[in-house]
Amino acid sequence: MGVGVELLVVEWPRVEAAAPDARYELLTEAAFGEAYSDDLFEHGWSWPTTPGENWYGRYAFKGTLGSYKPHFWAGHRWDHLREFVAPETRAPLDRFLDALVWDGLEYTESAGTGLPERDPAWDADLLLWRPPEDPPVIAEWWRQAAPRLESLREPFDQHAAAPGGWISTFEEFTRLLSDWGEVALEAERRGWGLVGLRC
């Protein structure tokens, strides 16, 4: 079946106010409780409507069916594509993808991502853990890269496209990046952090 991911933006103090051994249950209830859409993979945001529970939002990525595989494959496509991308586009996308989905640290170390390496401080099964100070930095990389996405079309088609499978086209690649950009911008706007639960 593979690894799935549920992406939440969360108000950090609300999670940290819970007892350490209760945080995973709190996050799981947020991911799979009220805000979990009847259509499990409906694209976009789901927000709780219960009074006093407005401390989180759930984001469903378009076309991923809740799987982590598209995120992994987006990083893999970038690994094949990046050397053919202009430096002014490559640098912010290196950092943006490294912070979220791509294990490309060997490329980003020399430039520095601006984000410290952290192990999650919460006892939970997480694929992503970005405290509130990170999304503004990630969102700024997105603002730098987003206007240049179209310049990736030709190098993607030549060096990263793959028939079938996950993230096989330029459109799928940029759609996933744009979804991550939406998540980073919303977390920045609210002053919240990002959590990706393994499921």
Q: What is the pLDDT of residues 40-84, one digit of tens each?
A: 567 899 898 888 889 999 999 998 888 999 999 999 999 999 999
Q: What is the DSSP string of 81-125?
A: HGGGS-HHHHHHHHHHHHHHT---HHHHTTT--SS-----SSSS-
pLDDT of residue 159: 96
Q: Are 72 and 4 in contact (CB under 8 A)?
A: no
Task: Name which of 35, 176, 25 is nearest 93 in CA terms.
Answer: 176
Side-chain half-sphere exposure of 33, counting CA atoms within 13 A: 16
Side-chain half-sphere exposure of 96, counting CA atoms within 13 A: 28
90-147 pLDDT tens trace: 999 999 999 998 765 555 554 555 677 777 778 888 889 999 999 999 999 999 999 9
Distance CA 69, CA 82 (A): 20
Could you tell me the two tokens for 150?
């179209």
Report the pLDDT averaged over residues 2-22: 92
Residue type, 51: P
* pTM of this structure: 0.91
Residue type, 79: D
Residues 14-18: contacts with CB under 8 Å, at least 24 apart:
14/55, 14/56, 15/55, 15/122, 15/195
